[in-house]
Amino acid sequence: MIELSTLSLGLNAPKGFVQASFAPPPGAIRLLGGVPALEALPAEAVARVSAELWQDPQAVAAALQYSPAHGFPALREWIARREGVDPGRVVVTNGGMHGLTLAVLTVVERGATVAVDDPVFPGFLWALEVATTRILPVPVVADGFDVEHLAARLRAGDRIAAAYTVADFHNPAQVSLSAEKRRALVELAERYGFSVIVDNPYRELRFAGEDLDVAAFNSSDRAIHVNTFTKTLGPGWRVGWMVLPEHLVEPVIRLRNRLDVHTSSVTQAIVERFVTAGLYDQVVRDATALYRERAGALVGALHEHLPGFFDIQAPEGGLFLWPRLAGDGLDPAELFREAAANGVVYQQGEYFAAGTDQRSAARHLRFSYSDRTPAELREAVRRLAVAWR
Amino acid sequence: MIELSTLSLGLNAPKGFVQASFAPPPGAIRLLGGVPALEALPAEAVARVSAELWQDPQAVAAALQYSPAHGFPALREWIARREGVDPGRVVVTNGGMHGLTLAVLTVVERGATVAVDDPVFPGFLWALEVATTRILPVPVVADGFDVEHLAARLRAGDRIAAAYTVADFHNPAQVSLSAEKRRALVELAERYGFSVIVDNPYRELRFAGEDLDVAAFNSSDRAIHVNTFTKTLGPGWRVGWMVLPEHLVEPVIRLRNRLDVHTSSVTQAIVERFVTAGLYDQVVRDATALYRERAGALVGALHEHLPGFFDIQAPEGGLFLWPRLAGDGLDPAELFREAAANGVVYQQGEYFAAGTDQRSAARHLRFSYSDRTPAELREAVRRLAVAWR
């Protein structure tokens, strides 16, 4: 168990998800973020749906007035059908980060220890700080969160309030948690009495391989399954959802009453109309096709221009590539400086280290390919090759 | 100083602002709430502004993507001009309640004591519970929060982290804090080193008397001034703002990064376009004219049908009437039952008591006149007269 304050994660000055305060050199190609491509967001369909909404007096009344803390009923029903749960277990949130914070405030007692992915999505550590700074880093390996590692720590006497992992297309580590480990993690939680906070914003964006079922999470009294429309309909909506065990629905709603009453009725009204009109699946199909092409362009260019330079797994979905430097002699900080000087910026792996040993994560780079065109991605790799050769 | 848990405020089961779970008899006239009249909300103008927005590619990009944690720049500038402050001190929130919670989480240490209005808006006590349950109730008198009462307690040795009051058209007590007391409260805060959390959602809705300046709050390093578009553009937006002392801007933003990233870009884009198009003032003018008429109808009917039954002050703005029962022999609980049986429901005064002595608040009733027509208000009073005679 370690204290977050001993780490150099910059937790006292979170920079936001796109590192808005980082100023790359003029003309640099930014592989930062995890921001969906603007051209993948359904602006025209939203305009149509929104115009209908404002012409419908009953819908206008619902959009402009207070609404239930749980969320708009038809939106919750639509989400519940996709998740395979009773609508009563769905709570609409102000996006995925808000769902994570609600989960933390609901199940993590002040000062408790929480097991987290290592490498980890730093935003979760920021959310966690509202309750605790004690974390138990758990390695993320080829098939995700190392459940056996955590089990060994628990057998040795460690105790945790919750375990946090990104289940599909991990940020930053790109991998997905295997079906066996989903069941094993939930069983471990039931045996030791901790909560599992499952963060799943990239789940819909699968462009290869087979969907890994979420039933293990959605059927457990110990799992909180957090998702969002951020990566499919756009971050700007700030609309997401939680699938909660029944006994946590009322505690989360009581918390909402204290924090923010409910998610915007306006955004819920538009998103509800959009998804119940059957428009969502096409958005996901178009987005995954776009991201498949981009991931392919990036991986292809790396093989072509920097052969042998990285250990690379071709992504099966999501927004990130997490290549590992093949040569131990290379200095990641120097590579980053050379890349930036040659007009490419990306996220350095050490930024995601959850443990005190940052060396493993520091051998990786996180390339976000989602909001760059194939031509930009190829040009970025060409520049990297020039910089690093 | 008292512990909230000793009170019967139902804090563990907040019912929401409109008491959605309260089921009045069929056909009853509801004077509950504090909900703006639907006909006072600018649905048509919003439809127009929204349609323009979705046709403007640059605006669409801003609406669908992440945006700065502080809020949309032109929206902050518009707010800052009205508040007479630098835009850097404005942070956009997810509505007034969210602003109150951010204030509490920023300036109230765990377990600290907070001075609050008595009677009090119960929602603030729910928000406060995220940090503390210790309150020091301060009477709300004819010219608002009793600053001298608090000063005496502080001289006697009591210490507080913050003082909370609704400055204009108090909920539930209808009064406004006088100009002298605004200055006195801020001076007291500066002398004793506590924060003033000023809740001001009804400020725009003045239909009589003169605006009481907010410069005393906006020029103090000790005051957090919380406001919202909830009562003018509608609760459904969940868009509000805080005017913060400079030294609290970054702490609030760091908290946002942990809690919810930022307020919806979609709602901010529409509200920004709406207010910068100059459409807001007309909304406020129309709304105050509507509420003036309704307040007048209610007060007139009470004088006509129940003369001498209440001590009544004619409201100068806001959404509430807070009449006091003139006869000490009347039992408020019995009156409430008789009223409900005759088809009128309102909020009983005791619901708003912050102190352990609930007798004073219990002599009052809170009538919300905002979302009832003059005819409904007159019929409600006619029913009350039948019930109580």
- CB contact set of A99 (below 8 Å; sequence gap of 6+): A93, A226, A227, A228, A240, A241, A242
Res. B7 pLDDT band, cuts 50 70 90: very low
**Cβ contacts (< 8 Å) between B231 and chain A: which residues?**
none
Do the Cβ atoms of A39 and A290 come closer than 8 Å? Answer: yes
- CB contact set of B190 (below 8 Å; sequence gap of 6+): B220, B221, B222
Domain with CATH 3.40.640.10 in chain A: 62-278
* Closest CA–CA distance from residue B92 to any residue of chain A (Å): 13
Strands B365-368, B320-321: pairing is antiparallel
CATH number of B45-278, picked from 3.50.50.60, 3.40.640.10, 2.60.40.1840, 3.40.190.10: 3.40.640.10
pLDDT at A22: 57
pLDDT at B178: 98
Chosen from A66, A237, A239, A273 to mutate, greatest number of chain B CBs within 10 A: A66
Cross-chain Cβ contact A264/B60 below 8 Å: no
CA distances from A38 to A373, B47, B266 (A): 11, 24, 14
Distance CA B361, CA B369 (A): 19
Nearest to A291 by CA among A210, A369, A346, A231: A369
pLDDT at A16: 36
Domain with CATH 3.90.1150.10 in chain A: 2-41+282-388
**Cβ contacts (< 8 Å) between B61 and chain A: which residues?**
38
Do the Cβ atoms of B194 and B163 come closer than 8 Å? Answer: yes
> pLDDT tens across B307-333, in order?
999 999 999 999 999 999 998 889 999
Do the Cβ atoms of A60 and A54 come closer than 8 Å? Answer: yes
pLDDT at A383: 98
Strands A134-141, A113-118: pairing is parallel
**Residue B368 scores a pLDDT above 90:** yes
How many CB atoms neighbour CB A212 within 10 A? Answer: 18
Strand partners, B366: B347
Domain with CATH 3.40.640.10 in chain B: 45-278
**Residue B215 scores a pLDDT above 60:** yes
pLDDT at B359: 86
Do the Cβ atoms of B321 and B174 come closer than 8 Å? Answer: yes
Q: Which DSSP state fits A197?
A: E
Helix (H) or strand (E) holding A90: strand A90-93
* Closest CA–CA distance from residue B226 to any residue of chain A (Å): 13
Look over chain A and give the mean of its residue pLDDT values, rounded to a whole number.
94
- CB contact set of B113 (below 8 Å; sequence gap of 6+): B1, B132, B134, B135, B136, B158, B159, B160, B161
**Cβ contacts (< 8 Å) between B263 and chain A: which residues?**
238
CA distances from B251 to A121, B132, B182, B244, B248 (A): 22, 19, 25, 10, 5
Q: Which DSSP state fits A189?
A: H
Strands B134-141, B2-3: pairing is antiparallel
Instruction: Give the chain A residue whose CA is nearest to the CA of B37.
Output: A65
DSSP assignment of A248-286 equals: HHHHHHHHHHHHTSSS-HHHHHHHHHHHHTT-HHHHHHH
Q: Which DSSP state fits B26?
A: T
Helix A43-54 to helix A57-64 angle (10° resolution) is: 100
Distance CA A83, CA A243 (A): 8
Query: CA torsion A261→A262→A265→A266, rounded to 10°?
Result: 90
Chosen from A67, A226, A257, A283 to mutate, greatest number of chain B CBs within 10 A: A257
Res. A33 pLDDT band, cuts 50 70 90: confident
In this prediction, residues A321-330 reach a mean pLDDT of 93
pLDDT at B21: 43
Q: Which DSSP state fits A35?
A: P
CA distances from B310 to B150, B271, B336, B382, B385 (A): 29, 41, 15, 15, 12
Lowest mean pLDDT among A218-222, A354-358, B155-159: A354-358
Res. B1 pLDDT band, cuts 50 70 90: low
Helix (H) or strand (E) holding B258: helix B246-259
Place of tokens 């027509």: B373
pLDDT at A20: 40
Q: Which tokens sit at A358?
A: 């940052």
Res. B264 pLDDT band, cuts 50 70 90: very high
Look over chain B and give the mean of its residue pLDDT values, rounded to a whole number.
94
**Residue B13 scores a pLDDT above 90:** no
Query: Domain A62-278, what architecture?
Result: 3-Layer(aba) Sandwich (3.40)
**Residue A103 scores a pLDDT above 90:** yes
Cross-chain Cβ contact A260/B258 below 8 Å: no
* Closest CA–CA distance from residue B101 to any residue of chain A (Å): 6
Positive or negative torsion for Cα B214, B219, B225, B229: positive
> Which residue type is seen at B177?
L
Return residues 45-84 of B near A (CB < 8 Å).
46-47, 50-51, 54-55, 57, 60-69
CA distances from A73 to A62, A79, A94, B176, B291 (A): 11, 10, 16, 39, 31
Strands B195-199, B162-166: pairing is parallel
Of residues B47, B61, B97, nearest to A260 (C-beta): B97
**Residue A311 scores a pLDDT above 50:** yes
Return residues 184-243 of B near A (CB < 8 Å).
233-239
Res. A10 pLDDT band, cuts 50 70 90: very low
A374 phi and psi angles, rounded to 5 deg: -55, -40
Nearest to A54 by CA among A44, A64, A45: A64
Report chain B's C-alpha Rg in angstroms.
21
Strands A365-368, B2-3: pairing is unpaired
Do the Cβ atoms of A135 and A114 come closer than 8 Å? Answer: yes
Lowest mean pLDDT among A7-16, A89-98, B203-212: A7-16
Q: Which tokens sit at A4?
A: 């977050």
* Closest CA–CA distance from residue A13 to any residue of chain B (Å): 7
A98/B contact by beta carbon, under 8 A = yes
Do the Cβ atoms of B130 and B112 come closer than 8 Å? Answer: no
> pLDDT tens across B92-134, in order?
999 999 999 999 999 999 999 999 999 999 999 999 999 999 9
A97/B contact by beta carbon, under 8 A = yes
In this prediction, residues B222-233 reach a mean pLDDT of 98
Q: In what order do the strands lie in the sheet with A347-348?
A: A320-321, A365-368, A347-348
Of A164 and A9, more confident:
A164
**Residue A133 scores a pLDDT above 80:** yes
**Residue B9 scores a pLDDT above 70:** no
| Percent over 70 (pLDDT), chain A | 94
Q: What is the ipTM of this complex?
A: 0.94
Distance CA A59, CA A47 (A): 16
Do the Cβ atoms of B94 and B240 come closer than 8 Å? Answer: yes
Q: Where are the alpha helices (DSSP H) in B42-165?
A: 43-55, 57-64, 73-83, 96-107, 122-128, 147-155
Strands A365-368, A29-30: pairing is unpaired
Distance CA A16, CA A6 (A): 21
A276/B contact by beta carbon, under 8 A = no
pLDDT at B312: 97
pLDDT at B22: 57
**Residue B295 scores a pLDDT above 60:** yes
Q: Residue A9 in 3-state DSSP?
A: coil
CATH number of A2-41+282-388, picked from 3.90.1150.10, 3.30.465.10, 3.40.1160.10, 3.30.70.260: 3.90.1150.10
pLDDT at B315: 97
pLDDT at A1: 65
pLDDT at A61: 97
